[in-house]
Amino acid sequence: MSAKNQVFEKLLAAKARKGAGFLLLIDPDKYDASGLEQVVKNATAFGADGFLIGGSLLFSNRFDAYVQQIKSATDLPVILFPGHSVQISPSADAILFLSLLSGRNPEFLIGHHVTAAPSIKAFGLESMPTAYLLVESGRKTAVEFMSNTEPIPRHKPELAAVHALAAEYLGMKMIYLEAGSGADESVPEEMVELVCQTVSLPVIVGGGIRSAQAVRSKVDAGASFVVVGNAFETRNDANYLKTMIDAAHPNLPKAI
Ligand SMILES: CC(C)=CCC/C(C)=C/CC/C(C)=C/CC/C(C)=C/COP(=O)(O)OP(=O)(O)O
Ligand SMILES: O=P(O)(O)OC[C@@H](O)CO
Ligand SMILES: [Mg+2]
């Protein structure tokens, strides 16, 4: 745990060295203990850049034990990715302090943040203020339903760009372009590209990314980090994980 910018700096350094970074999303409800340890160890060995932990719902009542289990299987940054203010654990290294800027629901703009802030301080967690922009992706996603917000229309990249710009002017440190977990379609490349041209912040892209080609095309469009979760929940295949991670690292020799 650290209240300084250590995790953020580590992510930026990985991006600078490898061209972009790969973050594996772990949904605590989707892995059993042995599956979890294996995927965390594999991702670490294959050169992933960190882990995000969270879900828009949480059935598990042992969230902190879960985070500890991940921490003990890796030396990479373990970052909370909360769908709700209850998803805070002292055992993580940092938290994506997401504000759902694409929506107009005050609870997800500032409400959960106020509720969670005292715990974040008490635990000494590093906070990474991140503009969370939800993008239309086909069928309604869990994030859209749970947050009761409207996503940005996928054919309107300029809408995403002005939200990102407002986030930069508000002093946020990162932009997360989110199609939603398990999305039918990932965030369009044109949108990633316009957002990356408009702001100088690192842009994270996630939701519905299932192939190495898709990972690479988000990176080619300018993404600093690509997040993948669902694809590995349904397919326990180390080779597939390695290919996806390699695709996010264009500067490394083994990259596709
Ligand atoms: C800053 C704090 C304490 C809370 C943030 C609260 C906000 C703004 C949340 C954004 C809206 C939200 C519900 C985000 C969920 C992000 C997330 C962990 C998505 C992962 O997707 P799943 O919800 O697991 O999808 P599945 O249904 O496919 O499992
Ligand atoms: O689970 P997937 O579809 O890979 O999405 C990752 C993340 O962006 C979801 O919040
Ligand atoms: Mg999930």
- Does the pLDDT at position 2 exceed 80? no
Which atom belonging to ligand 2 lies closest to the Cα atom of 178?
8
- Nearest residue to 109 (alpha-carbon basis) of 89, 145, 127, 133: 133
pLDDT tens-digit series, residues 107-163 = 999 999 999 999 999 999 999 999 999 999 999 999 999 999 999 999 999 999 999
Domain of residue 174: give its range. Answer: 6-247
DSSP 61: S
- Does the pLDDT at position 187 exceed 90? yes
Q: 167 lies in a domain?
A: yes
CA end-to-end span of the chain: 34
Residue with tokens 């879960």: 66
Q: 105 lies in a domain?
A: yes
Contact predicate 180/207, CB 8 Å: yes
Beta strand pairing status for 126-134 and 21-26?
unpaired
Q: ipTM beyond 0.90? A: yes
- Does the pLDDT at position 254 exceed 80? no
Q: 18 lies in a domain?
A: yes
Q: 95 lies in a domain?
A: yes
- The CATH number of residue 78's host domain is 3.20.20.390
Angle between helices 238-247 and 212-220 (to 10 degrees): 10
Contact predicate 43/14, CB 8 Å: no
Q: 255 lies in a domain?
A: no
- Does the pLDDT at position 256 exceed 70? no
Q: 253 lies in a domain?
A: no
Q: 256 lies in a domain?
A: no
Structure tokens of 205? Answer: 């892209």
Ligand with an atom nearest the CA of residue 231: 2
Which atom belonging to ligand 1 lies closest to the Cα atom of 54?
18
pLDDT given at position 3: 61
Q: Which residues line ligand 2 (CB under 6 A)?
A: 25, 178, 181-183, 206-209, 227-231
CA 204 / ligand 1 centre spacing (Å): 15
Q: 177 lies in a domain?
A: yes
pLDDT given at position 168: 98
Q: Determine phi and psi for 128, rounding to 5 degrees.
A: -115, 100
**Domains in the chain, number:** 1
